[in-house]
Amino acid sequence: MKPPAASSHDVFLSFRGSDVRNTFVDHLYAALRRKRVRPFKDDVDLGRGESVREGISRAIEGSSFYVVVLTRNYASSAWCLDELVKIMRCSSGGGGKNTTFPIFYHLSPDDVSDVGCYYKDDFDRHKRRYTYERVDGWIQALAWVVGVAGWVVTNLQYVCT
From 50, 61, 83, 133, active-site residue: 83
Measured between alpha carbons, how far is residue 6 from residues 3, 42, 58, 144 in Å? Answer: 9, 17, 9, 27
Distance in angstroms (rounded) separating the CA atoms of residues 132 and 127: 7
Instruction: Provide the strand spans (E) within the chain.
Output: 11-14, 39-40, 65-70, 99-105, 151-153
Backbone region of residue 95 per phi and psi (left: phi > 0; alpha: psi in -120 to 50; beta: other values): left
Active site residue 83: yes
Distance in angstroms (rounded) separating the CA atoms of residues 30 and 32: 5
Indicate which residues carry an active-site annotation. 83
